[in-house]
Amino acid sequence: MAAIKTIGILTSGGDAPGMNAAIRAVTRTAIYNKFSVKGIKRGYYGLVYNEIEDFTSRSVSNIIQQGGTILKTARCKEFATPEGRKTAYDNMRAAGIDALVVIGGDGSLTGARIFAEEYDIPIVGLPGTIDNDLGGTDSTIGYDTALNTIVDAVDKIRDTATSHERLFFVEVMGHMAGDLALNGALASGAEAAIIPEMETQIDQLADLVNRGFRKSKNSAIVLVAENPSTGGAMGLAERIKKEFPQYDARVTILGHLQRGGSPTAADRILASRMGAAAITALGDGQRNVMIGVKNGELVYVPFSKATCHAHRVDYADIDLVKILSI
């Protein structure tokens, strides 16, 4: 891999707290190891439209505590086409970039895999997504911060739920994964979590009501993962009105609030370790892999495994939510 002289870095897909910490770690570790660094603005869009600039150590000063991404992020339908990827490759080569570090989620790493296969480019990915839905890693950059944001919001919502004796459905992000809803429920003492992983097995709303959650409590909070299979918070509230009209249900959708804010110490540390490991991986001749973490140790995860949607929740935790909500 001695041929690698310049490394490009980009962030793609939804922003996640800790992306800036990862950018900082990649940049400074690369410079420490005598590589040049190019920052690519707006993800794959920046590759297609040649938004590439030199990065120095100063470029990443005072950003470890900032949410979002200084490199910006954007969708790019052009990159989904062979013609767009050819333009991206030409721009990359013209800028002297020999390898890429891509920070993003499932869609971003899928794009990286295709790009790497088509043009034999060394690419290392970092799992930057609050959803925690990538395979081969116990946690993703941004997940811990989003989880803490959810817990803080639910703690506040509980004051109103208790005062008005209401059932609150709180919708959180997660796409195909229920980690934010399930662990948010555990950490906030919510009465239930409705997640996509369980929807094909039981009617989660009916199970909640049939457990008689109102026998010992005058209010309840249910965390719901946003996903068509769960019906979302609005869909569940409509069901309550029709099927269980005796309950006064309300909905709170946290939305993009979960993506913002200064990253927690855990996310800053994870992003820093992963960012440094990405440069080590490239130096060791690794390609087409994501840096993951398993049992506290950093591991190399092939893109195909990272994006296979194999990540699953701990079913024991689902039972624990029920036990602790009596």
- The pLDDT value given to residue 77: 95
Amino acid at 217: K
Measured in degrees and rounded to the nearest 5, phi and psi for residue 10 equal -145, 155
Active site residues: 131
Proportion of the chain above pLDDT 70, given as a percent: 96
Mean pLDDT value of segment 67-87? 97
The answer to whether domain 6-142+263-306 has CATH 3.40.50.460 is no
More confident residue, 287 or 326: 287
Amino acid at 214: R
Report the alpha-carbon distance of residue 15 to residue 20 in Å, rounded.
10
Mean pLDDT value of segment 303-308? 92
Mean pLDDT value of segment 36-58? 98
- The pLDDT value given to residue 219: 79
- The pLDDT value given to residue 229: 77
Q: Is the pLDDT of residue 306 over 50?
A: yes
- The pLDDT value given to residue 227: 84
Q: Is the pLDDT of residue 272 over 90?
A: yes
- The pLDDT value given to residue 214: 56
Q: What is the DSSP string of 274-309?
A: HHHHHHHHHHTT--SEEEEEETTEEEEEEHHHHTS-
- CATH superfamily, domain at 143-259: Phosphofructokinase domain (3.40.50.460)
- The pLDDT value given to residue 203: 75
**Domains 6-142+263-306 and 143-259 belong to one CATH topology:** yes
Q: Is the pLDDT of residue 186 over 50?
A: yes
Q: Is the pLDDT of residue 310 over 80?
A: no
Q: Are strands 6-11 and 99-104 parallel, antiparallel or unpaired?
A: parallel
Task: Decide if 104 contacts 12 (C-beta within 8 A).
Answer: yes
Q: Is the pLDDT of residue 1 over 50?
A: no
Indicate the domain borders of the chain: 6-142+263-306, 143-259
Which of 3-12, 20-29, 208-217, 290-299 is predicted least confidently?
A: 208-217
Mean pLDDT value of segment 92-108? 97
Closest CA to 206 of 239, 168, 232: 239
The pTM score is 0.94
Which of 138-142, 161-165, 202-206, 250-254 is predicted least confidently?
A: 202-206
Mean pLDDT value of segment 196-221? 72
Mean pLDDT value of segment 89-100? 98
Q: What is the pLDDT of residues 217-271, one digit of tens each?
A: 677 899 999 988 778 899 989 988 888 888 889 999 999 999 999 999 999 999 9
